[in-house]
Amino acid sequence: MGSKDSLKQLVSKEEIANRVEELGKQISKDYEGKDLVLIGILKGAFIFMADLVRHISIPIQMDFVRLSSYGNFMESTGEVRITKDIELNIEGKDVLVVEDIVDTGLTLQYLEDVLNLHKPSSIKICCLIDKKERRQVPVDVDYVGFNIERGFLVGYGIDFEENYRQLPGIFKITPGYEPEGFIPSDK
């Protein structure tokens, strides 16, 4: 976390709380009478999922998966791998994947392919932030918290180099660090 990083709030904690409650009510209505399993993608979706499940009024099961595609870079590497797989049996169940940000779609496309091998009844996606302008592959997002087209975002579970997850809102970050090998002109 660089002391020179610049943060600009885009979504307040109150706006998030209201939208998460709306999503929870809609999911409860849509899945009434169904066998629903929420699968959160770690680490970014953990705060969103924790708040979301508190607003879901129907019985659910929860699990988590951890995927890696970013490393310490601000751009996706395009290479996805599972570092923690699901533990629940999802065969014949309705699955709702909970994600922090959907941008290129590569991570979710990969995860959907892997989850389909477990023969669920359905797979849908719920994300806090949808960045459609960055799609490289088609991905249908069924429940969207906010559409934010541009900027690298942090807060509410979303990080930059493992920092800023604890912020209560969503912020656009402009990193202020100097690139490796940078030699200031005044030296």
What tokens appear for 38 in the block? Answer: 């929420």
Helix (H, G, I), strand (E, B) or coil at 134: helix
Which residue type, as a one-letter code, is found at position 171?
F
- Backbone phi, then psi, for 28, in 5-degree steps? -60, -45
Is residue 103 annotated as part of the catalytic site, yes or no? yes
Bridge partners, 170 (sequence order): 11
Residue 25 to residue 56: CA distance in whole angstroms: 6
Angle between helices 13-30 and 46-53 (to 10 degrees): 60
Q: From the candidates 103, 140, 142, 159, which is the catalytic residue?
A: 103
Bridge partners, 152 (sequence order): 173
What tokens appear for 86 in the block? Answer: 């699901």
Residue 160 to residue 175: CA distance in whole angstroms: 9
Q: Which contiguous run of DSSP H or E holds residue 121? A: none
Query: Which residues participate in catalysis according to the annotation?
Result: 103
